Chain A
Amino acid sequence: MNAQEIIDQIPDDTLLSIINKANELTWNFLALKVMLARLKLKLSMMDNDIARQQSCRDLRDLFRKSRNIPNAQKDMQLIAEQFGTPFA
């Protein structure tokens, strides 16, 4: 599997857990930090199916677009360790 296929396989539930626990982990990639802060706020204000699906799409997009950046890769490994995603 290449990186994109792996990212595509992360379940939405895992992405939502990452958002909910955004402040509990030590992230490396600034773009991910500001994205998580934004999505956490968004879901705190309108927690419905559409908002959840859009948030998962936004987070997945960021992972795809940053998959070759070392700090983003470190964070994806962190996610694998914490959430047991297909990275592991």
Chain B
Amino acid sequence: MIQGLYSVPEVTEMIGRGDVLLLAGDVDLLAQLPAGKWIGGSTTRFILHADELVESHDKIFVHNLSEIAGEIKISVYDPSTISNIFDDAYDNGFSVLIMAWGSDTLKEYSINVSSYHNFACKVICGWITKNFFDNENPDISKAVCGKDGSLHSNSGVVMHVALPADKYAEVHTFSPFKQGKGDVFMFEENGLQVENACINGIKQNFRQYLESQKIDRSVECIVAGDFAGTIMNVYLLRDQKSDRGKYVSFSAPVYGGVEYRFAEIDLSYEEPTSFEGDIVFSLTCITNYTQPEVFKKYLRNMHGPFTYGEIAYHLMNHATIYVTVGNVQEPVYAS
């Protein structure tokens, strides 16, 4: 499986021979590529083999899927069509979704995905593009549709990948964070912004609760939700201008009915080291780039872009996502 950084001429050659590519790189580089079987997103930070963290403005990260991909479809979804993503995905395969930070399609997907038809019955993963901590230039954050080279800041670009009948795909997520031992909070509904939460069963204004607990939002503050045993993290936004008075804003949605706690690092956590199948695609949160002294050791088997939101069905933060492709196994249940 070809994975790594390549120059524009090298990627152009792969596209020319019909390779199926998932790309990540500087938007100016992606814009130079010819049309073909690829999608891409803008970022300039990458993790390479041997847990090397790099910034590159002259090379593109390639996940080359040609060895495993059967048929593919490349589609662009806007907020009114993204709900079709599971229906459009192949029954046996996986789909990679790339969206720009702040896009309307991202907001729609992140809040409502669990209500989409066929949710979780097809494999959906992906990532959010954004210029590195540059909130002043959101326009250079793009998802790119390789079918025609179009750049998208408000729509999502998807590659649906079919696999041969004897293969299966599975998406996985991990994070060294776990739920802390503090208060349990549950929100009333899905959203990027909340007013109230049930704190240990008692409804309160969540902003007032944070103030009463003297939570310092000027530093990284993560809440961790328990999704039947998988922990999904979201950040409290540091920029409280978006809070609109009595509300609190998050960088990814919180989900109504899910138990959240403030997150803490699990010092006993060990990265996954054995895999059922081959890793064909992986990505990880940008925070792992900015704090390598803490997180680099968890990423020794991962290669790909650093991202501003990670998708494994749901949108989440501070996660590593990877897709494996393995050989199907007939079930051996007794009858």
Contacts and interface: CB of A to CB of B under 8 A. Distances in A.
Report whether chain A binds chain B.
yes
B290 to A, nearest CB: 26
Q: How large is the interface on B (under 10, 10 to 19, 20 to 34, 35 or more residues)?
A: 35 or more
Interface stretch (B103-111, B192-200, B238-246, B254-262): B254-262
B223 to A, nearest CB: 15
Contacts of A44: 257
B120 A35 contact: yes
A11 B144 CA distance: 46
Interface string A23-39: 10111011111111110
Nearest to B312: A30
Contacts of A52: none
B226 interface: yes
Given A23-B228, A68-B328, A34 B114 contact: yes
A30 B335 CA distance: 26
Contacts of B333: 1, 3, 6, 76-77, 80, 86-87
A69 interface: yes
A45 B256 CA distance: 10
Interface in B164-208: 168, 170-173
Nearest to A35: B120
A60 to B, nearest CB: 11
A27 B229 contact: yes
A81 interface: no
Given A23-B226, A31-B120, A37 B329 contact: no
A62 B168 contact: no
B50 interface: no
Contacts of A69: 168, 170, 328-329
Contact of A68 (B329, B334, B335): B329
Interface in A51-88: 61-62, 65-71, 73, 76-77, 80, 86-88
B34 interface: no
A70 B329 contact: yes
B227 interface: yes
B237 interface: no
A30 B230 contact: yes
A72 B312 CA distance: 16
Given A68-B328, A68-B329, A70-B329, A34 B256 contact: no
B230 A34 contact: yes
B330 interface: yes
B274 to A, nearest CB: 12
Contact of B228 (A36, A73, A87): A36
Interface of B: 91, 114, 118-123, 168, 170-173, 226-230, 255-259, 276, 312-314, 326, 328-335
Given A65-B91, A65-B122, A66-B121, 7 more contacts: A26-B229, A30-B170, A38-B120, A41-B255, A69-B170, A70-B326, A73-B329
